[in-house]
């Protein structure tokens, strides 16, 4: 093709057709410019297509992560629901407790988890660390994602503080008698007559009141607040999955 154009130029020059040569030269320049513009547009198109494919890949992985979170948090919530059911019986036992056996039975019912609830941030953190977050074209979805993970981070921090409070309640010196019984009751050398157990039926005793405060905090904060947080996160997660699904379906991606 280049040889063909060169021959045309040479023929026009040899025939001394300067005006036609100039017109031809201008036309050739225009063709080159058009070719460059088309190449740029194709390059931009390919770049946009690759970014769009990367965006959709991120969205699919985000959806998978959030669906796993929904499964894990739903299971954790169901466990907490069982805890709450047992705790109702526990309060009755605390009021009626007369013996060490009663207290230990009660303690087995007041179940809780001090470790914070977790979610999968693998894809979201990857997007943040690689600036992949900026290729999300749906700004409403982008804001909802940011709000979702910011809320989870806030709730996790709050829950860590709640757990620290619970540990402080349990460390109270007034619970030394209870803690000793809990640790050593099943030891062969344990002598129940050697320790004071009158606090069990004395609702005004420091040990009984300290135990009531600890159990109250566990029931209402460690389990209760945690369950409220999880319920809200689950609702947000399901809404996000629906948003991501809609975005994927716009691109004929179904899963």
Is 132 in contact with 237 (CB distance < 8 Å)? no
- The predicted pLDDT at position 254 comes to 57
Give the residue-averaged pLDDT of 226-252. Answer: 92
Task: Note whether 148 and 232 are within 8 A (CB).
Answer: no
Q: Are 80 and 183 contacting, i.e. CB atoms less than 8 angstroms apart?
A: no
Tens of pLDDT, residue by residue over 45-104, are 444 567 788 888 899 999 999 999 999 999 999 999 998 888 878 888 888 899 888 998
CA distance 67 to 71: 6
Residue 116 structure tokens: 């914070």
- CA 117 to chain CA centroid, Å, is 9
* Average pLDDT in the chain: 82
Of 50 and 249, which is predicted with more confidence?
A: 249
pLDDT value at residue 21: 45
Q: What is the mean pLDDT of residues 5-14?
A: 51
- Taking only the tens place, the pLDDT of each residue in 118-174 is 899 999 999 888 877 888 889 999 999 999 999 999 999 999 999 888 888 888 888
- Decide: 234 and 80 in contact? Cβ < 8 Å: no
Instruction: Please state, in angstroms and rounded to a whole number, the distance separating the CA atoms of residues 233 and 159.
Output: 14
User: What average pLDDT does the segment 169-198 reach?
Assistant: 85
CA–CA distance, 144 with 237 (Å, rounded to integer): 10
pLDDT band, residue 4 (cuts 50/70/90)? very low
Residue 227 has pLDDT above 70, yes or no: yes
pLDDT band per the 50, 70, 90 thresholds, residue 37: low
| Lookup: tokens for 82 | 């069982």
**pTM for this entry:** 0.75
Closest CA to 182 of 104, 94, 90: 104
Q: What is the pLDDT of residue 18?
A: 54
Residue 187 is given by DSSP the state S
Strand ranges, E, within 176-254: none
Distance CA 83, CA 48 (A): 52
Nearest Cα to 2, choosing from 30, 32, 26, 23? Answer: 32
Span 102-117, pLDDT tens digits? 998 888 888 887 778 8
Concatenating the DSSP letter of every residue in 35-103 gives HHHHHHHHHHHHHHHHHHHHHHHHHHHHHHHHHHHHHHHHHHHHHHHHHHHHHHHHHHHHHH--SHHHH
SS3 176: helix
User: How far apart (Å, rounded) are the C-alpha atoms in residues 149 and 139?
Assistant: 16
pLDDT at 5: 46
């Amino acid at each position: 093709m280049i040889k063909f154009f060169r021959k045309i130029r040479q023929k026009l020059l040899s025939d001394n057709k300067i005006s036609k040569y100039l017109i031809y030269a201008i036309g050739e320049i225009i063709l080159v410019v058009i070719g460059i513009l088309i190449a740029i547009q194709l390059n931009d198109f390919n770049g946009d297509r690759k970014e769009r494919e990367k965006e959709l890949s991120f969205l699919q992985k985000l959806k998978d992560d959030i669906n796993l979170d929904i499964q894990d948090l739903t299971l954790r919530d169901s466990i907490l629901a069982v805890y709450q059911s047992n705790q109702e019986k526990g309060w009755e036992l605390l009021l009626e407790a007369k013996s060490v056996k009663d207290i230990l039975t009660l303690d087995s019912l007041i179940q809780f988890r001090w470790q914070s609830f977790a979610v999968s941030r693998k894809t979201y953190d990857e997007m943040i660390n690689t600036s992949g977050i900026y290729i999300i074209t749906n700004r409403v979805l982008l804001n909802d994602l940011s709000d979702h993970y910011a809320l989870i981070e806030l709730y996790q921090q709050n829950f860590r503080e709640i757990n620290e409070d619970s540990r402080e309640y349990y460390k109270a010196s007034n619970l030394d008698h209870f803690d000793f019984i809990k640790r050593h009751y099943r030891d062969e050398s344990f002598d129940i007559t050697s320790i004071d157990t009158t606090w069990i039926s004395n609702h005004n005793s420091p040990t009984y009141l300290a135990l009531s405060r600890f159990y109250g905090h566990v029931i209402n904060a460690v389990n209760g607040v945690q369950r409220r947080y999880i319920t809200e996160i689950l609702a947000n997660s399901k809404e996000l999955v629906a948003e991501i699904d809609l975005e994927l379906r716009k691109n004929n991606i179904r899963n």
